[in-house]
Amino acid sequence: MSGEPARILVTGGNGQVGFELRRALAPLGAITAVDVGDCDLRDEAAVRRTVRELAPQIIVNPAAYTAVDRAESEPELAHAINARAPQVLAEEALRAGALMVQYSTDYVFDGASNGFHCESDQPNPINAYGRSKLAGELAVAGSGAAYLTLRTSWVIGAHGANFAKTILRLAAQRERLQVVADQWGAPTSAALVADVTAQLLGRYLRAPGGASATGAFPFGLYHLAAGGETNWHELAQTVVRTARDAGRDLRLEPEAIVAITTAQYPTAARRGPNSRLDTTALRTTFGLVLPDWRTGIGQVLEQILERE
């Protein structure tokens, strides 16, 4: 590219990942972060107008409808934000010769298999949220634009609502809590997602011939998650233990968190037992080391506890 800073558009700038992207991508170029008040992703005309006015060289789209259970009763809204909006953004990326970066989820799989899901595994979403995210993946891949799609899992950040903050709130109120112990995955910090994205985009911008050198960069679909594995019950215990060790006054002891099965905790949206993602392709292609989930969650909890 030329010596000028890259123009980067980030959607969902106030969300968990969007907030971290504003930090992580700042050294790479001029960041314009928009949120629903600036550009409602349900409004196709507004999306196209925003992209054409800003003329970004990179479009990064962490914005999403993430209310997994509510999506069962609002599938059209989930599809509009998670599928149609990425399609429109990718179409505009193609028109502008820009790179499209999309984020997806382990929920594109049914979670019924053993082992870690690879990028080549056949998706089979079992809830409306997963179906909407898979539709977004396919729309971006079929758009003709240069793209990176990063599937991640169990994202937790210091900014925004998430599982860790819910557990901390309940731990201050209750002396006993039940948490599902038969769903497995890797809690992934929003900061890790943003930092890896920044590394990939840095490499893209340094590609021989610049960003236009489409043949010099390994575009496509990659799995991005922290190392290791755990379940929601162990994660809840980790959150409470860490908070208590840090001096937080909580009513709940880690040992008072009772392990239950998915069948004992019915939800509107079905969830499979296996959310584990194989990150071999990402690590080997880009030479990355992804830390164990405990590292990122420890850093997130430190930030949350400092702020509250």
Quickly tell me which residue has 């969902």 as its tokens.
12
What is the secondary structure of 78-133 as a DSSP string? HHIIIIIHHHHHHHHHHHHT-EEEEEEEGGGS-S-SSSPBPTTSPP---SHHHHHH
What is the number of other CB atoms lying within 10 angstroms of the CB of residue 216? 14
Which residue has 């006993």 as its token pair?
176
Nearest Cα to 305, choosing from 168, 203, 198?
168
Give yes or no: 222 in active site.
no
- Please pick, among 65, 129, 147, 222, the residue that the annotation labels catalytic: 129
Report which of 154, 37, 134 is spatially closest to residue 86, judged by C-alpha positions.
Answer: 134
| Cα angle for residues 189, 17, 292 (degrees, 5° grid) | 15
Q: Note whether 37 and 123 are within 8 A (CB).
A: no
Nearest-Å Rg of the Cα atoms of the chain is: 19
224 alpha carbon, distance to own chain's centre: 9
Could you report how far apart the first and last alpha carbons of the chain are, in Å?
Answer: 43
Show which residues are catalytic: 129
